Amino acid sequence: MQPIQSPLNYTGGKYKLLKQILPLFPERINTFVDLFCGGASVGVNVECNHVVFNDISTPIIRLLQTFQRLKPTTIFNKIQHIIQTYQLSDSSRFGYETYGCDSYKGLGPYNQKPFLQLRNDFNHASKFDSDYYLMLYVLIVYAFNNQIRFNSSGAFNLPVGKRDFNHKMQAKLKSFVERLKTIDCTFSNRNFIEIPINHLTDNDFIYLDPPYLITCATYNENNAWNEQQEYQLYEFADTLNRLHIRFALSNVLKSKGKENQILQQWLNNRNYTCHHLKFGYANSNYQTKDKQSQTDEVLITNY
């Protein structure tokens, strides 16, 4: 079965690696904790009795809750209302020509002004309801590469992108929302070290997909992840192991000539299993001349 794709384009999202990762997960899982869930592309595709989606980003967790709570027709109607209110492009209905644009150059020139108005209104909003979080989703859809980025003050600060709420984006959102409504799930907005684990058993499973220390990404800006947190992460994983709670940790040992020596040393002193994956992100460069600089993506398990 084809995995469900998240409508949120997280840098480092695991959708392209799911067919490698999911077979390495335990066959029987009671509670699955998606500890750094981001766009939730892993949690929505795991077979289990219950999913906990956790992320330190409050806007993302609230947006996922909005998707789960509202009816699909309500979500789509509200999105269309936002698009029409700000007079953003709607190529799925009117094509590119209506906006004086083509599919190659994209819709950025037309959407620039309304996008900035939407972004400004979102960043200055005082009411944080479902409409607010769907404004965030529309911003993501119309932003550069459909990515998510907030500055140190918490303001969304990406520029306008080339695409809009086209048929592909609509299909992704529809499938994702429908999937969310079929699973037993809860949402959590905590730092990973604050997650309660004493109630978990050896029938449960925690997936850790933290920001990668040696890579550059929007989620790793403003010192969002540092060496101290890296050490805390491995201590947390060791605690899970002592409690006989199964875990899997995604990370990279090498990337673009850099090595995560903290991770490598931790692995050298533990008896965990390290699975080397075929690097599968859209921005990977298989044509690089220096083969040693390619990314060594791994999944580390304690079972």
- Do both 195 and 261 map to the same domain? yes
Tokens read off for 46: 């795991």
Question: Minimal CA–CA distance to 35: which of 27, 46, 26?
Answer: 46
Measured distance CA(64)–CA(185) in Å, rounded = 11
- Do both 169 and 264 map to the same domain? no
User: Mutual orientation of helices 130-142 and 72-85 as an angle, nearest 10°?
Assistant: 70
The answer to whether residue 64 sits within a structural domain is no
Looking at 177, 206, 223, the residue that finishes a domain is: 177
- Do both 28 and 102 map to the same domain? no
What would the pLDDT profile of 116-136 be if each residue is shown by its tens digit? 999 999 999 999 999 999 999
Confidence of residue 2 (pLDDT cuts 50, 70, 90): confident
CB atoms inside a 10 Å sphere around CB 105: 10
- Do both 48 and 74 map to the same domain? no
- Do both 154 and 237 map to the same domain? no
b/e code 127-166 from CB counts within 10 Å (16+ = b): eeebebbbbbbbbbbbbeebbbbbeeeeebebebbbbbbb
- Do both 150 and 93 map to the same domain? yes
Mean pLDDT of the chain: 92
Whether the predicted pLDDT of 255 surpasses 80:
yes
- CATH code where residue 142 lies: 1.10.1020.10
Question: Minimal CA–CA distance to 181: which of 79, 86, 51?
Answer: 51
Q: Work out the average pLDDT over 29-45.
A: 97
Q: What angle do CA 245, 248, 251 make, to 5 degrees?
A: 145
Q: Work out the average pLDDT over 190-218.
A: 91
pLDDT at position 217: 54
Tokens read off for 254: 């090498």
Write the burial class of residue 72 (CB in 10 Å: 0-12 exposed, 13-18 middle, 19+ buried).
middle
- Amino acid present at 286: Y
- Best-predicted range by mean pLDDT (64-68, 220-224, 284-288): 64-68
Give the residue numbers spanning the domain of 157.
70-177
Whether the predicted pLDDT of 162 surpasses 60:
yes
Tokens read off for 107: 């819709």
Question: Minimal CA–CA distance to 15: which of 235, 281, 205?
Answer: 281
Confidence of residue 224 (pLDDT cuts 50, 70, 90): confident
Q: Work out the average pLDDT over 206-227.
A: 78
Q: In terms of pLDDT, which residue wins out, 223 or 288?
A: 223
- CATH code where residue 259 lies: 3.40.50.150
- Do both 33 and 116 map to the same domain? no
The answer to whether residue 81 sits within a structural domain is yes
- Do both 86 and 43 map to the same domain? no
The answer to whether residue 146 sits within a structural domain is yes
Q: Work out the average pLDDT over 100-112.
A: 96
The answer to whether residue 249 sits within a structural domain is yes
Looking at 150, 177, 204, the residue that finishes a domain is: 177
Tally the domains of the chain: 2
- Do both 138 and 221 map to the same domain? no
Whether the predicted pLDDT of 169 surpasses 50:
yes
Looking at 114, 149, 177, the residue that finishes a domain is: 177
pLDDT at position 284: 40
Q: What percent of the chain has pLDDT over 90?
A: 86
The answer to whether residue 288 sits within a structural domain is yes
The answer to whether residue 1 sits within a structural domain is no
- Output the CA–CA distances (angstroms, integers) from residue 174 to 11, 69, 126, 230, in the order listed: 21, 14, 28, 36
Write the burial class of residue 84 (CB in 10 Å: 0-12 exposed, 13-18 middle, 19+ buried).
exposed
The answer to whether residue 63 sits within a structural domain is no
Specify whether the backbone of 40 is left (phi greater than 0), alpha (psi in -120 to 50) or beta.
Answer: left
Write the burial class of residue 27 (CB in 10 Å: 0-12 exposed, 13-18 middle, 19+ buried).
exposed
Q: Mapping DSSP to helix (H, G, I), strand (E, B) and coil, where does residue 256 land?
A: coil
- Do both 79 and 25 map to the same domain? no
- Do both 98 and 41 map to the same domain? no
What would the pLDDT profile of 9-30 be if each residue is shown by its tens digit? 887 789 999 999 999 999 999 9
The answer to whether residue 61 sits within a structural domain is no
Comparing 14-28, 78-92, 140-154, 205-219, the range with the smallest average pLDDT is 205-219
Q: Work out the average pLDDT over 106-110.
A: 98
- Do both 92 and 49 map to the same domain? no
* Sign of the dihedral through C-alpha 52, 55, 56, 58: negative
Q: Work out the average pLDDT over 279-300.
A: 62
Tokens read off for 61: 């967790």
User: What's the start-to-end Cα distance of the chain, in Å?
Assistant: 25
